[in-house]
Structure 1
Amino acid sequence: MGRQGRPQGDLKGVSEQADRLAVFLRELTRGLTVRDLARLYPASKTSWSEYRSGAKTVPLILLERLIDHHVRAGDAHRDSLAEARHLHRQAEAAHGLRQHEPTSAIGDARPAEASRSAPADVHPAPQSSFRFEAAPYGIRQPALAVAAFNAPLVEVQIHAAAQRSMRFSALGFSDDHSSRTVEALHAEVVRVSRAYTTVPLPGLIEDLADLQDFAFSLTQRRYAPDQSRELYFLAGVVSGLMVKASLDMGNPYAARAQATTALLCAERAGHIDLQAKILSWQSLAAYWAGWSRQALAYAQQGAGLATGGRVSVFLPAVAARAHAAMGDRAAALAALADAERASRAHRRTDLDDLGGLFDFPPCRRAYFRAETLVLLDPARPDSVRAADAAVVAMAEASPVDRYFANEASASAHQAVTRIAVGDFDGATESLTPVLGLPEDCRNQDVIVSIMRVHRQLDRADRPLAGRGEMQEQIERFVRTGPRPRAPY
């Protein structure tokens, strides 16, 4: 039994039921510190602190294991299990009801706070879409697939049950079913990776953080060598997604810390392409923070590792934007040509099979090409054509290939080209749907892209009616996004 820790503080549950479950857990773990619990059970100190405050719902499998370890067999054990299950059901049901209270329509306002405080093992399923209708000169673009937080309660409960089942199979039967544990973790990693391109980060971050904790805990157990390598690969993938999440919130320093762990996991797994992908995200973090030379260095380092797959196409496209940001037209065009050659020589890999952010489909390649050319000179005809083509490519792509942040940024860069050629009405048409993007979708990429429209308006060489009003709209939009740790 551990020493008595610091006082546990006030209860922070979102409901009375959550507080009652937290009180039950406090009694059950009396005398144990969060450090003791993190050492004995597969959850971090932060998670245990949140479980005991009621801020997060403790997974039922952990609750049951605590009772097995700390309550004598017999009637007391049976009664404790029954009470724990009853309190857990009530807490989850109460949370689900709070989470699904009516909210304003997506696109009009931020989803209710209850939606963003979901426990780690509750992830609402996508239900509706935000309408995104930027159009290149009269071509109407279909709806952008951005998930709303309005899944029916039964779907949330089904998802939570699936999460508990995965943990139960891992924690309760790890010796006999280790291969199934790895398969279950792999399936969950694929789900989160593919959800990232359609679900706003606040609706995904707790799932992602919880999955990272779970993957880390599994790497500490004994597995066969091939399963151990797979676990480190999956831990590296999840940590890589945390790099992107940190970047999207405008925090390149957190992205760098996550990247260090992701690279260590990829090295332990012996997965060269994953190492290259992590370096590409480090390049993105530097690029969006305004550190173009560092972005180029990371992209070139990753290109030296990539052995095939989409990452071999992605890295030169990332390098092209960094060259363009530094004004090196020849190098930027050469990097775009490298990306095209790599695309023609592409060989599908296990990293590509994860989908979502690990893919680099044609519509996203078109966006990267357009942004590169717009950075070099937005008024050139090839830049205008590329910007229009990128918006069309996004409009015609399948939902699984589109990424709402790239789609919004593509329209913002189209607006830049239209301002550059004196088509203010066309720029307004491009920018209007971007300004309606839900607040939870306004990540660092989108904020930087729309600020380029603001700067292009400053550079306009003739008076533009409505310029001040558009700049005010952009400034209001930016104030609702992440606060970058570096200048634009």
Structure 2
Amino acid sequence: MAPQAAPTLLKRLVDDAHQTYEVFAQDYQEAAREVAAQRQDRRIATATVSEITFRRWTSGKVQTLPQHPAPLILEHMYGHPARSLFQPAPEASLRALAVSTIEESELDMTARDAAAHAEDAASLTVPDISLDRLHDAILDIARTYNSTSPPEVHRKAKELLLDAQDKLERTQILRQREQLYLTAGQAAAMLSAVCFDLGALQPAVQHSRTAILYGQIIEHGPLQAYAHGALAFLAYWSGRPSDALNLVHTAQGFGGLGATARSRLAVIQARAHAHLGDREQAVRAVRDSLDTHHSDRDELHDDIGGEFGFTPERLAMSNATTFLLVGDATGAEEAATHALRLLDERPDGARPMLISSQASTDLARARLLRRELDGACEALEPVFDVPRDWRGAGVLERLAAARAQLTHPDFRTAAQASDLGERIEEFSAVSVSRNLGGSVHLALDT
């Protein structure tokens, strides 16, 4: 039979004070608030302790100090160094331990505790090669985003975020923590993008806010700008174009942004103005998005690129949607056609399905504005071949707008319009994504 672990000083103090778990937990929370006030750190004030943790602390089997802020709170409660609390209690009485006279042995113990704590902190690190692997992983996710199905992107980005968060708990090296916060923020940004494509607006918003917080911790301008731009994009999809404009203005104020980042923000700004019905400002923002005389780069939008970037075909596709919102069928058709032409120039297998399907749908919608039913059917034909997993919310909403256009009186007696409407409904019904709450933000006046 294994010998019973000697009672720790913490166990002796708890027993002598007749502290049940309930009393200990109450005293612990009160001490947490006092420590928070002393250190002016509000995060400490909310610290609590579970009964399982209480039992483990008093069992005599704890080998390392609990995580911050528990050592600070326990020292405040009992007046002894945290490390001493988890060591076997001295044979002397507690009254002897509590005398105010500072003896040499106590000074030695304090020095040993400080050295042990420093050694523990120094041991908290992760291999640099692991950080390189995480960096390669975010590169892969971002750059293969448009050639990977949304469910698969979600799985990869989620694993990467959890991995980065786990490693943040294991290192105290500032350089490593900064890199891990950046990777975590990038993974959260990718999760926001894919949640949108899967038709889940609220998780997309939350992930963007998470990315903003990680970017704020390390003062990373491009990451904060990207995430604010994503929030602006999500705002006008939620029917809040004024909020979208405010978010764009905030994003434009971050430092270190390259030309790609500014072009992306101008596209989002144009769409927000279009949702507000401000044609003049929308067209002006479209022009700003096409102003490519700047050559500045940043490490997120340009060096990593991919989903963080903003390719010419994506820019043209997005501007086509803006033209549709302001009722400019000619501008929309020209922009959508330009996007598809650029996509056709890509090598086999490198044509982003999400972008091409949205551009084709916008081309069809532009033609429906001019009552060109045959041309709209032709434009939508490749869209109906898109596999189920690739039918993102962006194309579903555009198709919903096209379906609404088919109810125009000019199409009422056209069998071709009825057939096209049914195909749109069947296509959308079996999509892995879902429409964003039946929104009508992209619907056109018919």
| CA deviation after TM superposition for structure 1 residue 338, in Å | 1.9
The one-letter code matched in structure 1 to 2:327 is: D
Structure 2: how far apart are the matches of 1:293 and 1:400? 39
| CA deviation after TM superposition for structure 1 residue 382, in Å | 2.9
The one-letter code matched in structure 2 to 1:487 is: S
Q: Is residue 307 of structure 1 aligned with residue 256 of structure 2?
A: yes
The one-letter code matched in structure 2 to 1:430 is: A
In the other structure, the counterpart of 2:49 is none
Determine which structure has more spread, i.e. the larger CA radius of gyration.
2
In the other structure, the counterpart of 2:437 is 485
Q: How does 1:190-201 map to 2 (within 5 A)?
A: 190-201=139-150
Structure 2: how far apart are the matches of 1:471 and 1:279? 36
- Correspondent of 1:183 among 132, 139, 146: 132
Structure 1: how far apart are the matches of 2:264 and 2:151? 26
The one-letter code matched in structure 1 to 2:420 is: M
Q: Is residue 296 of structure 1 aligned with residue 245 of structure 2?
A: yes
Contact between 1:252 and 1:286, CA under 8 Å: does it hold in 2?
no
Structure 2: how far apart are the matches of 1:212 and 1:376? 39
Q: Is residue 439 of structure 1 aligned with residue 391 of structure 2?
A: no
Contact between 2:317 and 2:355, CA under 8 Å: does it hold in 1?
yes
In the other structure, the counterpart of 1:217 is 166
- Correspondent of 1:346 among 273, 295, 311: 295
Structure 1: how far apart are the matches of 2:133 and 2:321? 38
Deviation per CA, 1:116-167: give whole Å up to 9, x if none: xxxxxxxxxxxxxxxxxxxxxxxxxxxxxxxxxxxxxxxxxxxxxxxxxxxx
- Correspondent of 1:244 among 181, 190, 193: 193
Q: 1:393 to 1:460 in 2, by over 3 A?
A: farther
Q: Is residue 369 of structure 1 aligned with residue 319 of structure 2?
A: yes
The one-letter code matched in structure 1 to 2:359 is: A
Q: How does 1:461-480 map to 2 (within 5 A)?
A: 461=410, 463-480=413-430
In structure 2, runs of 5+ residues without a counterpart are 1-51, 57-62, 64-122, 441-446
The one-letter code matched in structure 1 to 2:182 is: F
Q: 1:303 to 1:446 in 2, by over 3 A?
A: same
The one-letter code matched in structure 1 to 2:218 is: A
Q: Is residue 330 of structure 1 aligned with residue 275 of structure 2?
A: no
| CA deviation after TM superposition for structure 1 residue 239, in Å | 0.6
| CA deviation after TM superposition for structure 1 residue 226, in Å | 2.2
In the other structure, the counterpart of 2:85 is none
Deviation per CA, 1:33-76: give whole Å up to 9, x if none: 9xx9xxx9xxxxxxxxxxxxxxxxxxxxxxxxxxxxxxxxxxxx
The one-letter code matched in structure 1 to 2:322 is: T
How many positions carry a matched residue from both structures? 317
Contact between 2:241 and 2:276, CA under 8 Å: does it hold in 1?
yes
Structure 2: how far apart are the matches of 1:285 and 1:176? 37
Contact between 1:232 and 1:265, CA under 8 Å: does it hold in 2?
yes
| CA deviation after TM superposition for structure 1 residue 401, in Å | 7.3
The alignment partner of 1:344 has SS state of coil
The one-letter code matched in structure 1 to 2:310 is: F
The alignment partner of 1:183 has SS state of helix
The one-letter code matched in structure 1 to 2:427 is: F
Contact between 1:313 and 1:340, CA under 8 Å: does it hold in 2?
yes
RMSD of the alignment, in Å? 2.5
| CA deviation after TM superposition for structure 1 residue 224, in Å | 2.7
Q: What percent identity do the matched residue pairs reach?
A: 28
Q: How does 1:385-400 map to 2 (within 5 A)?
A: 385-397=334-346
In the other structure, the counterpart of 1:355 is 305
Contact between 2:124 and 2:170, CA under 8 Å: does it hold in 1?
no
Q: Which of 406-415 and 319-328 deviates more?
A: 319-328
Structure 1: how far apart are the matches of 2:247 and 2:351? 25
In the other structure, the counterpart of 1:316 is 266
Contact between 1:178 and 1:223, CA under 8 Å: does it hold in 2?
no
Contact between 1:242 and 1:255, CA under 8 Å: does it hold in 2?
yes
| CA deviation after TM superposition for structure 1 residue 222, in Å | 2.0
Structure 1: how far apart are the matches of 2:172 and 2:125? 11
Q: 1:293 to 1:226 in 2, by over 3 A?
A: same
Structure 2: how far apart are the matches of 1:393 and 1:370? 14
The alignment partner of 1:466 has SS state of helix
TM-score by length of 1: 0.61
The one-letter code matched in structure 2 to 1:485 is: G
In structure 1, runs of 5+ residues without a counterpart are 1-31, 41-173
Q: 1:204 to 1:383 in 2, by over 3 A?
A: closer
Structure 1: how far apart are the matches of 2:328 and 2:135? 43
Higher relative contact order (CA 8 A, sep 6+): 1
TM-score by length of 2: 0.66
Q: 1:460 to 1:283 in 2, by over 3 A?
A: farther
Deviation per CA, 1:402-424: give whole Å up to 9, x if none: 53212111000100111222321
Q: 1:460 to 1:417 in 2, by over 3 A?
A: farther
In the other structure, the counterpart of 1:75 is none
Contact between 1:239 and 1:262, CA under 8 Å: does it hold in 2?
yes
The alignment partner of 2:132 has SS state of helix
Structure 2: how far apart are the matches of 1:176 and 1:229? 13
Structure 2: how far apart are the matches of 1:442 and 1:456? 20
Q: How does 1:7-406 map to 2 (within 5 A)?
A: 178-305=127-254, 307-309=256-258, 310-341=260-291, 343-351=292-300, 352-379=302-329, 381-397=330-346, 402-406=351-355
Q: 1:244 to 1:197 in 2, by over 3 A?
A: same
